[in-house]
Structures are given as C-alpha cells and as structure tokens.
Structure 1
Amino acid sequence: MKAIDNTETASCLTNPGRRRVLLGGAGTFAALSLIPLSPLARAEEKLALPDYAVWKEADAVIVHSKKTIETKRDAIGSGGITSTDRLYVRNNLPPPSAEVMTNADAWEIRIEGVNRPATLTVAELKKIGVETVVAVLQCSGNGRAFFEHGPGGTQWATGAAGCVAWTGVPLKQVIDRLGGYQAGMQYITSTGGETLPEGLDQKLVVVERSVPLRALDHAILAWEMNDEPLPLAHGGPLRIVIPGYFGVNNVKYVKQIAFTEQQTTAKIQASGYRIRPVGEKGAPDQPSMWEMPVKSWVTSPVSRSKAGINMIYGVAFGGTVPLEKIELSMDAGKTWQAARFLGADMGPYAWRPFVFATDLKPGTYEIVSRATDINGQTQPKHRTDNERGYGNNSWSDHGLSLQVS
C-alpha cells in the first residue's frame, strides 16, 4: 500500500528525485515519517495565491502554480459542501479579464445544433428556469502523485476535488425552448471563452470538450456556486456543469454549446484527456475522461493522533450513481469494517462524508477506505497505470499512515 499526505506532496513537486523516493515502493509509510522536509522545500511549497484567487484561504490550500491550486487533505472537514475558499482550482488557460464579472448577466452564450439557434445572455437564461444540483467537481488527474512512472502535470494527491452546490438552468430546458436539438446529433460540445494566444492554431489551445448526448439529462448552465455568484476562478460568469463527469468537461467561461455529430477536433479532446498506455501518444480512439468512477479517501486525522477513541473522517462518491456502502481498514486492507455516512444524502452526484469511530492504542495504523456504489462497483485495490496519470480511484494509493501516541 502507498500513502502520502499533502504536505509531502507539495514538497516533492519541485524535487523530482525526492518524489521518486517517497512514491517508489512498499516502504512508503516508513518513508513519510523518516524523511524530513528540507528548508528549500519548505520555502518552495509556499507559493502566493494568484490575483484571480487571492481570496482563497491560504492555509487550507497548496498553490502548485498560477493555474493549479489544491485543497489540503485535512481541509475538507466533515461537511457535505466544500467551502468555495477551499475548493481546488485547475485552469488550462489564464482566465478572462476580471472585467467580465462587472456585469455578469450580460455574458452571452451561443447555442448551435438546435432547430432555432440563438445567442442568449445570462439574464435571459435566468428567465427560462433555475435548479440547484450538488455535485462533485474532480480533476481527471486527482491522484496523479501516486503513479510510479512520474507522469507530467500537476502532482495532485487527493485535493483536486470538492463537492459543490451549483445553481443554474437545466440545459435541457434551454434546448427545449429552442426547438430541440437537430436530428443525428450525438455529442454536446462546449467551448470556453478564454482569450487564446495569438499566432497559434486555435484548435491546439482552445478549451473545447465533447460529451455524449446522454449528459443532456442532467447538465446545467450554472451562474452560482454555494449560493454565491460563480467567481471568475471557477468559471464565472457562466459554466456548464455535467454532474458525475470529470472537471475538464465542466467547461468554464462557456461561450458556446453546440450539438454535434462528431467529437470536436480540438487537441484537448482529440488527444488530450485520454486513457492511454504509458509511453503512448493520445488518440481519438482511446477512452476519454468522461464519467467518474466510484472513489473515497480518508481526510482526517492525516498523520498523528492520541490514543483512545478516534473519529476517522473521509469522503466517498459514486460518480454518476449513488453509493451503497463505505468500508474502512486500519491495517492496509487486510481486514475491513463498515463505516457510516454522515448527514443528509444530497443526491447521486454529491459525495457522502463518512466517519468511523475506533479505540486506538499507541502504534502505527495504515488506513484505507473502500466505497461501493449501488451497481456493485467497488474501488479497486490498484490503479490503472496510464501515461497521464488520470482516473486514479485505487484504495491502496489513497491510504495514509497514522501515528498514535
């Protein structure tokens, strides 16, 4: 079993050799307690929050870069909704100018591939309908830090995920208002409104994603998150939200929705975000990062605790289907016991916080969790190795080592 906490993850981002030591074998739990952070690593992990996200709670996040901010493992808490100021950030391009938020209702979106194509403002969308859905937002690369081959990209551990209350208009209502989508359409293709670099083929850089038509049943065009206007850092003024799908499909600053017969040829779709063998290039015939699989991990305590009654907390979700159960192991998966879900069930796309109460004696405990959805799909023990480090839902990787004194 492999384990790592977010403090260690942050320090190894800028020191690849250190990351190989931490992630390279069966002695990970021992390595975590024996290898101290160097002064350089301690300095490097304290990057400043970028201007567009300066309002984030600095002590609750790890700033990997101007475009990537991770929630610390123990900052999730035991509630169902992730606080906006703690939610992770993943941008493929710099966000638009903050000026677009001065009159968010004026933001326009073009709808194509329908019987009555139209350009609508956010203000007009608000008159069509409104709904709130609670759904997990998770980066495709969440858990990438645990892959032994060292895939490129941000070395997310567990913090590129959160559970959010999204408010907006169901996309289906908008499409019905426009006479429905045209015959023969198979995909919903969303295009982001970031300013693209000049001098480059736009298809190489544009954030444009296609998802199967089945997503229409639950997709929404969101202008609020957690009962507040959608901030620029998270896609404001308008974002498409496709509950149960990986974050890249939830296109920020969405400026166009098109119903299409084929997937977009944009690089981010055609070769990016594809599950492919290590060492191979991306291609359109490889599986795309669409629906999320069942997953869970422990959130606290993350490293040390006192002997006696301990409450072990975590989160679990089923992707596009509800959960059936959650189990916890204190001995790296040798034995399992039932944990219990906390709070109200906020729907099939939300995560469920869970808790396990246990009386612990002094010693080291290797803690892992394992979720099962209503279709009987259970988290696997091992990850599926792939070139980009996508879709890691293995229970062994997401464990942690708890020192009890």
Structure 2
Amino acid sequence: MKTETTLERGPNDPGLANPSRRSILIGSAGAMAAVSLLGFSRLSAAEEPKSLPDYAVWKERSALIIHSTNTMETQRGAIGNGVITASDRLFVRNNLPAPPASVTDNPDAWEVRVEGVKNPRTLTVGELKSMGVTTVASVLQCSGNGRAFFPHGASGTQWSVGAAGCVMWTGVPLRDVVDALGGAVDGVRYITGTGGESLPDGVDPKSIMVERSIPTRALDSALLAWAMNDEPLPHTHGGPLRLVVPGYYGVNNVKYVKQIALTENQTDAKIQASGYRVRDVGMKGSPDQPSMWEMNVKSWVTSPLESGRKGRNMIYGVAFGGTVALDKVEVSTDGGKNWKPARFLGPDLGPFAWRPFVMAVDFGPGEHRIVSKATDVEGNSQPEGRIDNERGYGHNGWSDHGVTVTVG
C-alpha cells in the first residue's frame, strides 16, 4: 500500500503510472503569434473585464476569475459543497478558438470519423444516440490546476484550485461504438481524439491542433458526450460532441471531437509529443517524459476561507481520487500537526466524481491553518509538498492548498 503519490514512469508507456495519473503549450513563435491574433491574450488584474466574452456570456460572472479571454477559473468560494458543479460556474480552458457557435444549432448533424476499427465509418451524433447511452459523473480538471503555488513561476495560467469541477456527462460509451464497428484492429495501444477547432492559415497544423492520445485502458470508461448536466453540451465546453475520459486530465477530454482513431502509436501533434509532459524545471518537453493522463488523488477546503467565528464552525471541501474511488479525507486545523477524519457529504456518484466533505470544529481566537488530505481505496494519499516540474502540472500537495482562517 502506498502512502504518498509520486510521479513515476510505467513499464510500457511514458504516461504517469499509478497506473493512474495526468495542456497545450504552443511552443513555436509563429504558432503563438497566430494564436495571439485570434484573441488569446493574457489579462492583468487591472484589465480583467466586468463582462464576459460572447462565447461565455451565459456564465455567472461573479463566480469566475478571468485570467485571459479563454481561461476562466471558478472562485474557491463559489465551488460550494454540492456534488455537481453548476454549468454556469464551471471553469473554462480553451487551447484554440472554438469552431463557429452555429455548430450547435443542429447538434445531431455533427459528424465524427471512427478509425482503427474493422469497419471504419463516419457517424453523426444522431446515429451515435441510437448506439447506446450512459451518464457518468466525473471531475473535469485542468492539468495545471494548482500551478499558482509553484515557486519557480511556471508559465501558463496561474490557476489556484478553481480549474476543476464535477460534471454529469451523458453520451454513448466509446466501447459500444467500437464494438458496433466490428471491434478494434490488431495492434492498437492508444485512443487518439482530434478536435474540430478552427486552425489559422499559414501554420503547421501539427504544431497547434488539439489531438491527444491516451492508453486503450481508458476504452471501458470513455464516452462520446452530447450532454452536460442534463442539458445539450454547450458550445463553450465542446458541444455538440466531446470525448470524455473519466479520471483523466481535461486536455484529454477533446472538445468538438471530429475523429476518434484507435492507433498503434501516439500522435505526433505537438500538444502530445512535447506538450503536457512532466519534466524537471528548465527541461524541454519530449515524448519519453510522463504524459498528463490519469489524475492523482486531491482535495482542498472551500469554506471557511479567511475568517471564522469563535466556537462552532463547519469546514467544507471537495476531494477526488481520479480513476480510483476515495477511502477517506482528513482535516487539520493546525497546519498538519494533528488530523481528524471528515465526513463525506451527499451521495456517492461513483469513482470518478468528487466527494464533498465536512468536519465540525471549535475555534478559539487567533489564526488557524486548515489543510485537508485525501486517501483513495488503493492507499494513495496526498503528499505534503509539491513535485516541482517545469509546467506546474499535477500539483496535489496538501500544504499549498490550505487556507489560513482568522478568528477574532
């Protein structure tokens, strides 16, 4: 039984082996310039707009921190203590400009090509709906959630804890689609999803496109989703169709998915070959480094955040195990010196969903450092510290994620 999650390389692939663990950095100057022209500008605190961009205008502005025009974080205090994250509070992270919003006008007409099966073909969403259906609760989390805590100043959006939410996804199990098309061809090891974002002219598509490969071990849990939280999948979050891989980091949940291919090798697209790779600070990305695939066990406190009252208080938070169910959550009010068990709150929606938790505590006057530590059913527990890496990925250390509460 392991007591601390570490980043280690698996024997058969360069993914993060737990066997469960781990978005695009656009590396070339030309690609970055092209993206900048399409509206991907970083915003300073003074520049943060009071209103939302058109593609996300339906979101609850007061619940979000706008880091850029395409990166919006849920405020820690807006996460709440429910199992499901409200769609209008869910964080937004886009690697590329979305296709026209009109693609959701007739969602059943959207087409996805399926390759690497014995009978490859193009299917519409309408056809997919006749092949099977399931609903799965799953945490959606950006690979860089927690990046703001890295002391070396990892580049990218400075997410704290709000680049995550728990969502109900409805769609067809990918396994059902593969089986209906005669099964996989021999020798496949990866599921490769290609997004349907609009690509700028004059740029090598492989340098900028969203195309991700994940191990075929995810085939039994992956789905092609057309609904989110019991409503049609919104354009903002990948509608009309998104590849959803429960327990995997958000970049693998390809939006506007236009092709699914079962492949022998990983794609050579930059987002896969060198992007979303875990490496030492100062190193460049390469295919032999661990990839951000399965998520690790994690938790954080959502309330109280700054101040409490003398006497009885309720500490709330959320916890999840990635692809593994949770066993327990412990909470400390003295920075990790002493721990007490918390109680799970609300229904258990399965191993991929998060579990809100609560613990009652009596506070005296002064400062109280509140931290939480989750452990999954396999014995993986959050470490105290972070595993420093160039891009600030996969941070689940309990110390950084705590809050200091003052009681007068």
Instruction: Name 1:164's counterpart in structure 2.
Output: 167
In the other structure, the counterpart of 1:251 is 254
Detail structure 1 runs of 4+ shifted over 6 Å in the superposition: none
Once residues 91 and 60 of structure 2 are traced to their aligned partners in structure 1, the CA distance between those partners, rounded to angstroms, is 11
2:299 pairs with 1:296? yes
Q: In the aligned structure 1, how far is the partner of 2:83 from the partner of 2:407?
A: 27
Q: Identity, % of aligned pairs?
A: 68
Alignment partner, residue 344 of structure 1: 347
1:224-267 superposed Cα distances (whole Å, 9 cap, x missing partner):
00000000110000000000000000000000000000000000
Q: CA–CA distance in 2 between the matches of 1:232 and 1:137?
A: 16
What is the Cα deviation at residue 301 of structure 1? 1.2
Q: 2:223 aligned with 1:220, yes or no? A: yes
| Correspondent of 1:121 among 114, 121, 124 | 124
Counterpart in 2 of 1:23?
none
- What residue ranges of structure 2 are gaps of 5+ in the alignment? 1-42
Whether contact under 8 Å (1:330, 1:366) holds in the other structure is yes
Contact 1:47 1:63 in 2 (8 A): no
Query: Which string of whole-angstrom CA distances, capped at 9 and with x for unpartnered residues, describes residues 115-164 of structure 1?
Result: 00010000000001110000000000000000000011000000000000
The counterpart of 1:267, out of the listed 267, 270, 275, is 270
- Post-superposition shift, 1:362? 1.7
Instruction: State TM-score, norm by structure 2.
Output: 0.89
- Which of 199, 203, 226 aligns to 2:202? It is 199
Q: Aligned partners of 1:45 and 1:254: how far apart in 2?
A: 30
Secondary structure of 1:197's partner?
coil
* Change beyond 3 A, Cα 1:241–1:42: closer
What is the TM-score of this pair, normalised by structure 1?
0.89
Number of the residue aligned with 1:14: none
Q: Which has the higher helix share?
A: 1
Establish whether residue 105 from structure 1 lines up as the match of residue 116 from structure 2: no
* Distance in 1 (alpha carbons) for counterparts of 2:377 and 2:224: 28
Relative contact order higher in (CA < 8 Å, ≥ 6 apart): 2
Within the candidate set 327, 331, 348, 2:330 is matched to 327
Q: Could you say which residue in structure 2 is the equivalent of 1:6?
A: none
From 241, 245, 270, the equivalent of 1:242 is 245
Give the root-mean-square deviation of aligned CA atoms. Answer: 1.1
Q: Is 2:82 the partner of 1:83?
A: no
Task: Give the residue type in structure 1 aligned to 2:230.
Answer: D
Structure 1 residues 287 and 42, CA gap change in structure 2 (3 angstroms): closer
For the pair 1:210 / 2:217, whether they are aligned, the reply is: no
Offset, 1:42: 6.0
Amino acid corresponding to residue 119 of structure 1 in structure 2: T
* Alignment-derived partner of residue 232 in structure 2: 229
Spell out, residue by residue over 1:198-218, the C-alpha distance to the aligned partner (whole angstroms, 9 max, x if none): 101100000000000100010
2:51 pairs with one of 48, 57, 60: 48
What's the CA shift string for 1:19-75, capped at 9, x where partnerless? xxxxxxxxxxxxxxxxxxxxx976444453111101100000111111100000010
Question: What SS class does the counterpart of residue 175 from structure 1 fall into?
Answer: helix
For the pair 1:152 / 2:155, whether they are aligned, the reply is yes
Structure 2 residue 371 is matched with structure 1 residue 399? no
**2:358 corresponds to 1:358:** no
- Distance in 2 (CA, whole Å) between partners of 1:167 and 1:47 is 33
CA distance in 1, matches of 2:187, 2:75: 45
2: CA distance between counterparts of 1:177 and 1:258?
15
Judge which range, 373-382 or 44-53, deviates more.
44-53
